[in-house]
Amino acid sequence: MLIHSASQLLTLAGGPQRGRDLGRLGILEDGGVLVRQGKITAVAKSAELLAAYPDEPSISAHGKVVMPGFVDPHTHLVWAGDRAAEFELRLQGKTYMEIMASGGGIVSTVRATRQASIEALLAQTRERARRMLQYGTTTAEAKTGYGLEVQTELKQLEVLLRLDAEGPLEICPTFLGAHAIPPEYRDDPQAYTHLVWEEMLPAVQRWWASHAPGRHLPFVDVFCETGAFSLEQSRAILEQARRLGFPLKIHADEFDNLGGAALAVELGATSADHLVKTSPEEWRALAKSDTVAVALPCTPFGLAEAHYPPVRPFLEADGLLAIATDLNPGTAWCENMQFAIALACRYLHLTPAQAIAAATINAAAALGMSDRVGSLEVGKQADLVVLSVADYRHLGYRFGGNLVERVIKRGEVVV
């Protein structure tokens, strides 16, 4: 298949973009891309491709932007129920942390997720995955963490593997057993921490070997936060995960700074996410490392909070930045990376080009997948979107809608 005549073909070629390099879109005007067997086999000016492949089935993208599908590198895709009542409480003045401390928040989604049958969980999750795809996301990370017991955490992983196999959205799973202290361990959080590293991690490893043989292990993530897991507990879990061969992520400095960002650098985590309360020293350490900083602008927006991660100095210091939705039922029910881009332009002070690179090639780097997805280059997976606009800057500039007109995943038109 040949997709040709794009007003702007954004290739994002050349690998992940650090620091001041962020925003190199690699624009090819009147560009085209040739797709064979799910992969990109040529990227060139339309005239050249049309002349070389005159009989190829083709799609004209005249007057439209063609670019890589979005990669959403931080979501809590798989849960049951909703927390609309909690949203209303927050509007009346209760904080997220107060609701969590009084037994609501994550734990209320845990109750609903434990009760849900695997079919119910699949159906609710599939609906969100479908919406992500319609908004142009072709690959997404997805965390467990609403089970907080072996059986339900594995049920969440199973839903993720089944949806990934169903497609078309490609899912990169993360085990987040350390998302909250479950109600039955409320009086002994340390015992739960122990359970995570002593029993749950090896159980996940064994389960994975039999359910996803040959596939590399999922990420292990920890919510390092007041009221969730302390720095010491986070370290114990992540060190054990690393010993077992899991790649690492961390929720750091969302509400309080406990030192999670520095821990991510020390342990060589693939990414450190949130980073609202990160100190300037920790930002500098992150910038010098290969750990990707993942900013989640939908989260402060969802919580109606004024603070967003200060990423500009981080870029000046040559750091590697990605953005994600943080899709979850508590703080940010948003399936739309275009909205994350619009917020990133306004509150992270990124240009549309920078936000687009952070949502594609750098987001792929935050999943260790930048050799396969996130850009339009020969040999890469043919995951791309056609926008209904001629100028890429409409991403960011316009918000609240959907500029994605067509989605192609592994060479197939899926939307």
Closer to ligand NIG at the Cβ: 249 or 409?
Answer: 249
Angstrom distance (rounded) from CA 178 to CA 283: 24
**Are 248 and 242 within 8 A, CB to CB?**
yes
SS3 content of the chain, % helix, strand, coil (to 5): 40, 25, 40
Q: With CB cut-offs between 5 and 8 Å by kind, which of ligand NIG, Fe ion, none does residue 70 bind?
A: none
β-pairing verdict for 321-323 and 292-295: parallel
Angstrom distance (rounded) from CA 198 to CA 75: 26
Neighbours of 318 (CB within 10 A): 13
Shortest Cβ 106–ligand NIG spacing (Å): 4
Contacts 24+ apart (CB under 8 A), 302-307: 302/331, 302/332, 302/333, 302/334, 303/90, 303/96, 303/331, 304/90, 307/276, 307/277
Closer to Fe ion at the Cβ: 170 or 326?
Answer: 326
Q: Is 360 in the site for ligand NIG (CB under 6 A)?
A: no
Q: Is the dihedral of CA 143, 256, 97, 358 positive or negative?
A: negative
Shortest Cβ 82–ligand NIG spacing (Å): 10
Structure tokens at 306: 């004024």
Q: Is 223 in the site for ligand NIG (CB under 6 A)?
A: yes
User: Of residues 16, 105, 177, 247, which one binds ligand NIG by CB under 6 A?
Assistant: 105
Angstrom distance (rounded) from CA 160 to CA 144: 9
Q: What residues contact residue 176 under an 8 Å CB cut-off, 6+ apart?
A: 76, 143, 144, 145, 220, 221, 222, 223
Q: Is 46 in the site for ligand NIG (CB under 6 A)?
A: no
Closer to ligand NIG at the Cβ: 204 or 332?
Answer: 332
User: Of residues 251, 380, 406, 409, which one binds ligand NIG by CB under 6 A?
Assistant: 251
State which of positions 152-211 bind ligand NIG (CB under 6 A): none
Angstrom distance (rounded) from CA 41 to CA 411: 11
Check whether the bond before 168 is cis (ω within 30° of 0): yes
Q: With CB cut-offs between 5 and 8 Å by kind, which of Fe ion, ligand NIG, none does residue 69 bind?
A: none
User: Of residues 109, 124, 193, 360, which one binds ligand NIG by CB under 6 A?
Assistant: 109
Shortest Cβ 272–Fe ion spacing (Å): 12
- Binding-site size for Fe ion (CB under 5 A) equals 1
State which of positions 280-299 bind ligand NIG (CB under 6 A): 299
State which of positions 324-353 bind Fe ion (CB under 5 A): 326
- Binding-site size for ligand NIG (CB under 6 A) equals 13
Pick the piece of the chain touching ligand NIG (CB under 6 A) from 38-46, 152-160, 190-198, 322-330: 322-330
Q: Is 106 in the site for ligand NIG (CB under 6 A)?
A: yes
User: Of residues 32, 104, 173, 329, which one binds ligand NIG by CB under 6 A?
Assistant: 329
Pick the piece of the chain touching ligand NIG (CB under 6 A) from 105-113, 333-341, 348-356, 402-410: 105-113
**Are 407 and 130 within 8 A, CB to CB?**
no
Closer to Fe ion at the Cβ: 164 or 326?
Answer: 326
Neighbours of 92 (CB within 10 A): 6
Closer to ligand NIG at the Cβ: 53 or 79?
Answer: 79
Angstrom distance (rounded) from CA 8 to CA 20: 22
Shortest Cβ 100–ligand NIG spacing (Å): 8
The helix/strand/coil state of 406 is: strand
Which residue is closest to Fe ion by CB? 326
What residues line the site for ligand NIG (CB under 6 A)?
76, 105-106, 109, 223, 251, 254, 299, 326, 328-331
What residues line the site for Fe ion (CB under 5 A)?
326
